[in-house]
Amino acid sequence: EYEGIPYPTFLTFRNKGAEQTIQGIKDFQSRETDIMICTHSKSGTHWTYEILALIISNTTELAKETKGEKMLEAIPDLSVLDALPSPRILDTHVQFQNIPTRHVEKGGKIIHMIRNPKDVSVSLYNHARKDVITLNLDIPWNEYFEIWMTGKLPYGSWFDYELGMEQAEKDHPGLIYTCYYEDVKKNPTKEIKKLADFLEINVTDETIDGIAKATTFDNMQKNKMDGSKFVSDDGQGFIYRKGEIGDWKNYYTVAQNERYEALFKEKMKDSQYKFQYE
Ligand code: A3P
């Protein structure tokens, strides 16, 4: 835990401790051409990564390798990123105040994918139960729900994260592009085109169509699971799990939903973010 925020036990945090790890991310020598994916965990980070990777390489073939993501807090020595050609796609779940300072100062592009928080909570619940190394939170749903309500989960409160991003959008106009998980799911070609436009990359309609087909949940689950570190001992994936909108209904009781709605209303009263829950 650092500055009141708990962190997962990636090797980096275990070796260096949270303070030094976070400071290392803030001090990271970002290049102007870097594209930074900023997400609360379980909001579609891997999906965003694959879409962006295809846009920048102007191809429609999903890369086979599974370790495409470059999550800053999971990399013990960030200097390994020096060897990568530009533009690099980097990602992080740390809150906005802790992302590389230089990236913001240089006006580097930021893609922020946001997802309805009820589905985020369910996705994180399932991930935390399976990922015994970094999260190791195999507890019953009702117990987990109470922790979710307090926000004391890895990377901190969802509200803090998203309100921080919303404030950052106001503080740095034009720097951050926010796309909704639900919109990409419902209308991938339209949303992929908007992403390409934000990145100022020309992609033909045909290629956009091909990227949408390559990055469907089914295709990514099939192609990214083989030999993946994202498969737990029981053979089930914890990154490509269901990929649906509305799975929260299979977990939240009516009473839990009412409590969450009340908390959401209070915390997000000044927010313009709007969510689709089904
Ligand atoms: P579920 O657990 O609800 O299935 P992250 O990459 O930030 O960890 O997010 C993981 C969530 O994104 C998982 O949600 C996963 O299934 C979903 N996801 C991954 N690829 C997807 C895709 N191509 N389409 C829709 N959802 C996808």
Q: Which range among 11-20, 96-105, 223-232 shows the weakest confidence by mean pLDDT?
A: 223-232
The two structure tokens encoding residue 100: 């590389």
User: Which of 42, 92, 126 has the most ligand 1 atoms within 8 A of CB, as the residue to mutate?
Assistant: 42
Query: φ, ψ for residue 91 (rounded to 5)?
Result: -145, 160
The two structure tokens encoding residue 233: 């001992």
**Catalytic site includes residue 40:** no
Q: Whose CA is nearest to atom 26 of ligand 1?
A: 243
Q: Which of 159, 175, 211, 195 is nearest to 100 (CA)?
A: 175
Q: What is the pLDDT of residue 239?
A: 85
Q: How many CB atoms lie within 10 A of CB 242?
A: 15
User: Rounded CA gap, 95 and 165, in Å?
Assistant: 8
Q: Under the phi-then-psi rule, with left for phi > 0, alpha for psi from -120 to 50, and beta for the rest, what region is 234?
A: alpha
Q: What is the pLDDT of residue 71?
A: 92
Distance 40 CA to ligand 1 centre (A): 12
For 132-147, what is the mean pLDDT? 90
pLDDT digits (tens, 9 = 90+) for 26-42: 999 999 999 999 999 99
Question: Given 46, 93, 103, 127, which residue is catalytic?
Answer: 93
pTM of the model: 0.96
The two structure tokens encoding residue 63: 């890369």
User: Rounded CA gap, 92 and 31, in Å?
Assistant: 16
Continuous segment of H or E residues that includes residue 112 = strand 109-114
User: Which of 162, 231, 239 has the most ligand 1 atoms within 8 A of CB, as the residue to mutate?
Assistant: 239
Ligand 1 — pocket residues by CB below 6 A?
39, 41-47, 119, 123, 126, 185, 215-217, 220, 239-243, 247
Query: φ, ψ for residue 46 (rounded to 5)?
Result: -65, -35
User: Rounded CA gap, 52 and 61, in Å?
Assistant: 12
Token pair 């503080």: residue: 171
Q: Which amino acid belongs to residue 174?
A: G
Q: How many CB atoms lie within 10 A of CB 125?
A: 23
Q: What is the pLDDT of residue 230?
A: 60
Q: Which of 158, 154, 113, 147 is nearest to 21 (CA)?
A: 154
Q: What is the pLDDT of residue 225?
A: 66
Give exposure, 165-203, as e/b (b: 16+ Cβ within 10 Å). bbebbeeeeebbbebbbbebbeebeebbbebbebbeeeb
Q: Which atom of ligand 1 is nearest to the CA of 50?
A: 23
Q: How confident is the model at residue 234 (pLDDT cuts 50, 70, 90)?
A: low
Q: What is the pLDDT of residue 233?
A: 57
Report H helices in the chain.
11-16, 18-26, 45-57, 101-105, 117-130, 141-150, 158-171, 181-186, 188-198, 205-214, 217-225, 254-267
